[in-house]
Amino acid sequence: MYNLFKLDNGLRIVLENIDYVNSVSVGLWVENGSRNEDKNNNGISHFIEHMFFKGTKNRTALQIAECIEDVGGQINAFTGKEATCFYIKALDSHLELALDVISDMLFNSKFLPEDIEKEKGVVIEEIKMSEDSPEDVLMDLHSSAIWGNDPLSLPILGTVETVKSFDREQIVNYISSYYIPENSVISISGKFDAKAVEKLVDKYFGNWNSSNKEVTNYSEPNILTSHLYRKKTIEQLHLSLGIPGIESGKDELYSLLLLSNVFGGGASSILFQKIREEKGLCYSIYSYISSFRNTGVVSIYTSLNPQYAADALHMIKDEMDKFIKNGISDEKLLKAKEQLKGSYILGLESTSSRMFNNGKSVLFLNRINKPTDIIEKIDNINKEKLNEVMQKTFMKGITNAAFVGEEIDLEVLKNVISKDVVPFKNSKINSI
């Protein structure tokens, strides 16, 4: 059973009562991430996420972790490009404790200067660890190739330079601007008493307010035709190819997800079977979609011996051309729908996954996406809808790319990408 309501301060609450479980998951969602930042404060959203765990007026950093873990619960958080989430999963008997701890972190964190300086070192090590991961480097590089100077391209972790510049005043001012009830959602899924939980939420979050409000309003970035390369001394070349996608909130996303799954979503997909199984050029290859407010992209990722890069690009483009031309058979469409429904339903087998699904849906769309509604939308996918989405996405061709690895012939790869696709003006390829 679902319930969606709003407190007097504008905070949205979404509840899903699941009476056959013995756990409850509580999440505080804030519509704030790296997309809200600029080049001067890039990484501050992620840094603030860390600082909320560093101690409050009522609990030390150790006590924040202990009070949840001592009752067998889990506490964590994550920051994305458009949202930050703090969440706790515990036995249903500890629901009030979960609300108490999250509200304590939100309203009573100390942000001591010495803790800020210490945490800078932790986050800088996290950035360095990311630099050691070619996949992470590639993802940030491809974001720059796709969106250029738009804030959406900024790395979630920020840079060493920006992290070093953060101070208490900057952190407190940023929180008062973006961590506001109008930008936030409390999502609770699991076993609870509905009347009691509404009173508890009002008890711990009803007085939340801010006078320095920055209600999130995102830009409408263009998807660029740009190809970026970063040299890194590693064995393989990692590459990511970008195709225009669909923005979040659109029903067309389900058709696009189905197309992406068929083309490169798993071991039975076209890309996996052709590039890995038949040709043996790589170990991993897949496609996936990323959707945001006002924009979206389909990405194709693989890593392989640099000398086979041009061959792999040729094959990927050939398979994409065949995919566009031949489409999906009736039999394949039925199987793809079942696969999509199965993966979606299996992904909702825990209270935490349901909490994530509900919180994100209400935060960005201001509505609950019930499983029955999603299944109906998947069932309603037909060839006409697939063709409409194909024209908006795959038929646009590979418009941007990013490469991470040893020295490669950029011009050769650029020519392979741009050959026999819809022409785009001002195509460029740069090494950084």
Kindly tell me if the per-residue pLDDT of 409 is higher than 90: no
Kindly tell me if the per-residue pLDDT of 430 is higher than 50: no
CATH T-level assignment (fold) for domain 226-431 = Cytochrome Bc1 Complex; Chain A, domain 1 (3.30.830)
Task: For residue 286, give the 3-state DSSP assignment.
Answer: strand
- Evaluate the CA torsion angle 288, 291, 297, 301 in order and state its sign: negative
- 49 catalytic per annotation: yes
Q: E strands, 272-359, where? A: 282-292, 295-304
Task: For residue 241, give the 3-state DSSP assignment.
Answer: strand
Kindly tell me if the per-residue pLDDT of 302 is higher than 80: yes
Q: Which pLDDT value is given to residue 35?
A: 96
> Which residue type does 185 have?
V
Kindly tell me if the per-residue pLDDT of 431 is higher than 50: no
Average pLDDT over residues 16-24: 95
Contact 64, 75 (CB under 8 A): yes
Domain ranges of the chain: 2-205, 226-431
- Helix, strand, coil percent values for the chain (each to nearest 5): 50, 20, 30
Per-residue confidence band for 408, with pLDDT thresholds at 50, 70 and 90: confident
pLDDT in tens, 147-164: 999 999 999 999 999 999
List the strands of the sheet with 12-17, edge to edge.
Answer: 2-6, 12-17, 184-190, 23-30, 84-91, 74-79
Task: Compute the mean pLDDT over every residue in the chain, rounded to the nearest whole number.
Answer: 94
Instruction: For residue 1, count other CB atoms closer than 10 A to its CB.
Output: 8
Q: State the number of CA atoms in the 13 A half-sphere of 117 facing the CB.
A: 3
Kindly tell me if the per-residue pLDDT of 386 is higher than 70: yes
Contact 186, 12 (CB under 8 A): yes
Q: Do 2-205 and 226-431 show the same overall fold?
A: yes
Average pLDDT over residues 79-104: 98
Structure tokens belonging to residue 10: 């504008």
Dist CA 76 CA 98 (whole Å) = 12
Dist CA 266 CA 399 (whole Å) = 23
Average pLDDT over residues 113-126: 98
Q: Which pLDDT value is given to residue 196?
A: 94
DSSP 55: B
> What are phi and psi for residue 251, nearest 5 degrees?
-65, -20
Phi/psi region, residue 144 (left: phi>0; alpha: psi -120 to 50; beta: rest), is alpha
Which helix (H) or strand (E) is 150 found in, with range?
A: none
Dist CA 167 CA 155 (whole Å) = 20
Question: In which residue are the tokens 């026999």 written?
Answer: 420
Structure tokens belonging to residue 347: 């992904």
Q: For residue 261, how far is the Cα from the chain centroid?
A: 18
> Which residue type does 44 have?
I
Contacts (Cβ under 8 Å, ≥6 apart) of 403? 138, 227, 228, 229, 230, 237, 238, 239, 309, 410, 413
pLDDT in tens, 242-269: 999 999 999 999 999 999 999 999 999 9
Q: List 32's β-bridge partners, or say none.
A: none
Nearest CA among 107, 92, 109 for reference residue 206: 107
**CATH classification number, 2-205, choose in 3.30.830.10, 3.40.50.150, 3.30.70.100, 3.40.605.10:** 3.30.830.10
Structure tokens belonging to residue 124: 């800088």
Which helix (H) or strand (E) is 202 found in, with range?
A: helix 194-205
Q: Report the share of the chain in percent with pLDDT over 90.
A: 90
> What are phi and psi for residue 216, nearest 5 degrees?
-60, 130
Q: List 291's β-bridge partners, or say none.
A: 296
Nearest CA among 403, 391, 397 for reference residue 417: 397
Dist CA 228 CA 144 (whole Å) = 8
Q: Which pLDDT value is given to residue 420?
A: 55
Per-residue confidence band for 425, with pLDDT thresholds at 50, 70 and 90: very low
Q: Which pLDDT value is given to residue 414?
A: 87
Q: E strands, 191-265, where? A: 226-231, 237-244
Average pLDDT over residues 32-56: 97
Per-residue confidence band for 429, with pLDDT thresholds at 50, 70 and 90: very low
Catalytic residue among 31, 37, 49, 252: 49
pLDDT in tens, 180-235: 999 999 999 999 999 999 999 999 999 999 777 666 778 899 999 999 999 999 99
Kindly tell me if the per-residue pLDDT of 27 is higher than 80: yes
Contacts (Cβ under 8 Å, ≥6 apart) of 311? 281
Kindly tell me if the per-residue pLDDT of 428 is higher than 50: no
Task: For residue 300, give the 3-state DSSP assignment.
Answer: strand
Contact 242, 280 (CB under 8 A): no
